[in-house]
Amino acid sequence: MQDLHDEIRANVQRALQEDIGSGDLTASLIPDDKALQATVISRGNAVLCGTQWFDTCFVSLAVDTEIEWFAKDGETVQAGQILCKVEGNARALLTAERSALNFLQLLSAVATQTRRYADAVAGTSAVIVDTRKTLPGLRLAQKYAVACGGGVNHRIGLYDGILIKENHIIAAGGIQPALSRAREIAPPGVFIQIEVESLAELREALAADARMVLLDNFTLDQLTDAVALTRQQAGAPVILEASGNITLDNVRQAAETGVDRISIGSLTKNIQAVDLSMRFI
């Protein structure tokens, strides 16, 4: 993944700018030299993620802000647990509070949901991978959170991998022509993956020497058949990825079919923020 430091600063700068605008009018009620302390408490069990974004929000407004963490990104925290202590200029703490919590709640939610899926397939050969279904402008942040939760990052964007989907296949004139053209244009080290929607299309992809196949909206029985067909027909190892209509209720069954990867768009798209509270003392 790209270096996060510049991305974190850019994320935080945008967040603070949209919230503060020309100035925090309410914080002006507080004397500019007043100092405060605060703690952040988790109101539920979660996987913590986003501490660097949280810290940067406060330090961007007051460089001497002191933050002490009692848990790290990727660690499970419990309801009622104190996550960190923050001390610094009162105006800066009050102004940065919402943006800092927004990042921490969002990224902890992604990590927490990912951990649920990763735990559900533990002991199988399958891994949980993310998609490009991320919140605009926060892709690297959310993919970092997926990794903290025990998932695996797929391509970051359109530039670092080739995923040939249904419309690409139609435009290219079929599976074989699409794969052939992809091999011609792919930079060194860039993976080529093709999406299929049936066992017949899988046979065609394998005959065209596909090495990475996305099985789109396959039933559990179809996934089982796809794994068997691939082992029988492929002359070399092929990575099979299941995608579509997979939830926490059936992800274990999908993993037990023998697929290598399971991609879950809801890890980064359908998110319920982790409940955190910042209390001033």
Q: Residue 272 burial by CB count (10 A; 0-12/13-18/19+): exposed, middle or buried? A: exposed
Angle at 149 between CA 145 and CA 150, to 5 degrees: 120
Concerning whether 132 is annotated as a catalytic residue, the answer is no
Say if residues 202 and 228 touch (Cβ distance below 8 Å). no
Concerning whether 98 is annotated as a catalytic residue, the answer is yes
Bridge partners (DSSP) listed for residue 181 = none
Q: Which of 14, 34, 72, 98 is catalytic?
A: 98
Concerning whether 130 is annotated as a catalytic residue, the answer is no
Residue showing tokens 């199988």:
124
Q: Which of 119, 121, 124, 56 is nearest to 86 (CA)?
A: 56
262 sits in which H/E element: strand 261-263
Q: Which of 97, 204, 216, 260 is catalytic?
A: 216
Q: Which of 116, 133, 203, 211 is catalytic?
A: 133
Q: Which of 55, 195, 201, 204 is catalytic?
A: 195
Q: Which of 165, 203, 252, 269 is catalytic?
A: 165
> How does DSSP classify residue 255?
H
Q: Which of 213, 170, 221 is nearest to 191 (CA)?
A: 213
Concerning whether 216 is annotated as a catalytic residue, the answer is yes
Concerning whether 133 is annotated as a catalytic residue, the answer is yes
Q: Which of 82, 76, 144, 78 is nearest to 115 (CA)?
A: 76
Catalytic positions are 98, 133, 165, 195, 216
